[in-house]
Amino acid sequence: MTRAIADWWDALELWLTQLAFPLQVALAIVVLLPLCWLVAGLADRVAGTLVDALRRRR
């Protein structure tokens, strides 16, 4: 199972590195922008919850 995942990842990596640079950038934007937005939203929610918990404690 692990070997199959490693082989899949290697094939994906090879495909990505063979793309033209503008396509690599566009693909990175399409994938990373929503991912970063979700992580930032999650971090904001966790920080807000922690701050609210600390305020209630005092």
Q: What is the CA radius of gyration of the chain?
A: 19
Residue 26 resides in a domain: yes
Cα distance between residue 45 and residue 31, in whole Å = 22
Query: At residue 1, does pLDDT exceed 90?
Result: no
Domain range spanning residue 51? 20-58
Residue 39 resides in a domain: yes
Please tell me the total count of domains within the chain. Answer: 1
Q: Enter the pTM of the model.
A: 0.62
Query: Mind listing the pLDDT tens digit for each residue in 28-56?
Result: 999 999 999 999 999 999 999 999 999 99
Residue 49 resides in a domain: yes
Give the H or E element holding residue 30. helix 21-57
Residue 36 resides in a domain: yes
